[in-house]
């Protein structure tokens, strides 16, 4: 600094500059140097701050990775525990055949209003391998992706000859009803085949029809006989959830009265509050295709059966994340 000023003085004397001009140049140079020092200090401060932020991010990433590892271990542990629990349930079913048929006879249609125990006794009398009890874990068996809730909500995709549509299933609000539907759709829930008299494990809904269609009301399907009078050998208890309403797109179980639902379902195309509290709502569908199906010509003398069959080619179960 002093050397530079000395040079400026020599230059000034040699060029005949007045001392005030030299002083001004000296001040400007000093100001530039001060500003340069300030900028250097600011850069060093910013570098330290950025370094601290990077270190903090690295710590967060490490914590997240550790948490993810623990979560995977926890999920694996829960999966093994559930498998063991299901195995124990199945073992107890075989061991405790004492659930027994109760007062029911083979071939007898389930009466209205059975209790939970009577539902199991009736199913046992019909030869149900599950003895009237079936869980969502059993319904999803064989596909780890379906059991992984991080993949999204449980969805049923209906593929029909009138177009495809999705229904999001209420696995938390109506777990037993969803388990029954998913099990029948995937073929993991046994059902009584009327034509052979045997209990079978294959997708029930594939190739069935919407046998009852009422415009501005609902479309109904799920009967392997295609008549609305089919019997698959067992019934399930109602799951009537407050707050779920029969609005357009609602997926609900058909029944003959309290606790008589089995495989048949219907999809609403109108708001029908008189059904609330009487039928188990277990999903919500995209209503566009069902609304179109509801307008097809029907034979009113044949129970509102479509003149040209409306076929459910397939019901696929998957998980999808909300968009």
CATH topology of domain 103-320: Cyclophilin (2.40.100)
Residue with the larger pLDDT of the pair 293 and 9: 293
Q: How far is CA 303 from the centre of its chain?
A: 34
Q: How many CB atoms lie within 10 A of CB 193?
A: 15
12 pLDDT more than 60? no
Q: Where are the domains of the chain?
A: 2-68, 103-320
97 pLDDT more than 50? no
Nearest CA to 232 out of 268, 200, 206 is that of 200
Segment 289-316 shows an average pLDDT of: 98
83 pLDDT more than 70? no
What local confidence, expressed as pLDDT, does residue 42 receive? 72
Maximum C-alpha span of the chain: 127
Segment 265-276 shows an average pLDDT of: 98
Give the C-alpha separation, 140 to 171, whole Å. 12
- Which tens digits make up the pLDDT trace of 229-242? 999 999 999 999 99
203 in Cβ contact with 186 (< 8 Å): yes
Give the C-alpha separation, 282 to 170, whole Å. 5
Give the C-alpha separation, 260 to 254, whole Å. 8
Structure tokens at 102: 């109760």
Residues designated catalytic: 212, 217, 220, 255, 266, 275, 279
Question: In a 3-state reduction of DSSP, which class is residue 309?
Answer: coil
Phi and psi at 55, nearest 5°, equal -65, -40
What local confidence, expressed as pLDDT, does residue 53 receive? 66
Nearest CA to 254 out of 229, 233, 290 is that of 229
252 in Cβ contact with 279 (< 8 Å): yes
CB-count exposure of residue 264 (10 Å: 0-12, 13-18, 19+): buried
What local confidence, expressed as pLDDT, does residue 95 receive? 45
> Which bin fits 187, alpha (ψ -120 to 50), beta or left (φ > 0)?
left
Give the C-alpha separation, 132 to 117, whole Å. 9
Give the C-alpha separation, 139 to 291, whole Å. 29
Q: Are strands 281-285 and 163-169 parallel, antiparallel or unpaired?
A: antiparallel
Question: What average pLDDT does the structure give for the chain?
Answer: 86
11 pLDDT more than 60? no
96 pLDDT more than 70? no
Structure tokens at 241: 């959830």
259 in Cβ contact with 238 (< 8 Å): yes
254 pLDDT more than 70? yes
200 pLDDT more than 90? yes
Number of H helices and number of E strands within the chain?
7, 12
298 in Cβ contact with 307 (< 8 Å): yes
Give the C-alpha separation, 8 to 30, whole Å. 12
Residue with the larger pLDDT of the pair 257 and 8: 257
Segment 30-41 shows an average pLDDT of: 77
């Amino acid at each position: 600094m002093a050397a530079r000023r000395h040079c400026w003085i020599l230059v000034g004397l040699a060029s005949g500059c007045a001392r005030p001009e030299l002083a001004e140049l000296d001040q400007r140079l000093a100001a530039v140097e001060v500003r340069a020092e300030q900028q250097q200090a600011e850069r060093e401060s910013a570098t330290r701050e950025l370094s601290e932020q990077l270190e903090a991010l690295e710590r967060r990433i490490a914590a997240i990775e550790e948490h993810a590892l623990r979560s995977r271990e926890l999920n694996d542990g829960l999966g093994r525990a559930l498998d063991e629990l299901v195995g124990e349930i199945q073992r107890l079913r075989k061991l405790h055949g004492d659930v027994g048929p109760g007062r029911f006879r083979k071939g007898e249609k389930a009466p209205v209003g059975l209790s939970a125990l009577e539902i199991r006794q009736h199913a046992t009398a019909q030869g149900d391998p599950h003895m009237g009890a079936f869980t969502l874990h059993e319904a999803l068996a064989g596909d780890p992706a379906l059991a992984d809730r991080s993949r999204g909500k449980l969805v049923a995709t209906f593929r029909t000859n009138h177009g495809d549509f999705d229904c999001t299933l209420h696995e938390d609000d109506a777990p037993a009803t969803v388990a029954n539907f998913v099990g029948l759709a995937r073929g993991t829930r046994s059902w009584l085949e009327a034509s052979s008299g045997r209990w079978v494990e294959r997708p029930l809904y594939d190739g069935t029809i919407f046998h009852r269609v009422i415009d501005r009301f609902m479309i109904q399907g799920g009967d392997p006989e295609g008549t609305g009078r089919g019997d698959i050998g067992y019934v399930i208890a109602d799951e009537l959830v407050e707050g779920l309403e029969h609005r357009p797109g609602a997926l609900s179980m058909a029944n003959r009265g309290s606790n008589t639902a089995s495989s048949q379902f219907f999809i609403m195309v109108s708001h029908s509050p008189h059904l609330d509290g009487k039928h188990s709502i277990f999903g919500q569908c995209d209503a566009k295709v069902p609304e179109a199906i509801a307008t097809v010509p029907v034979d009113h003398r044949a129970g509102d059966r479509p003149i040209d069959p409306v076929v459910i080619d397939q019901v696929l179960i998957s998980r999808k994340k909300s968009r």
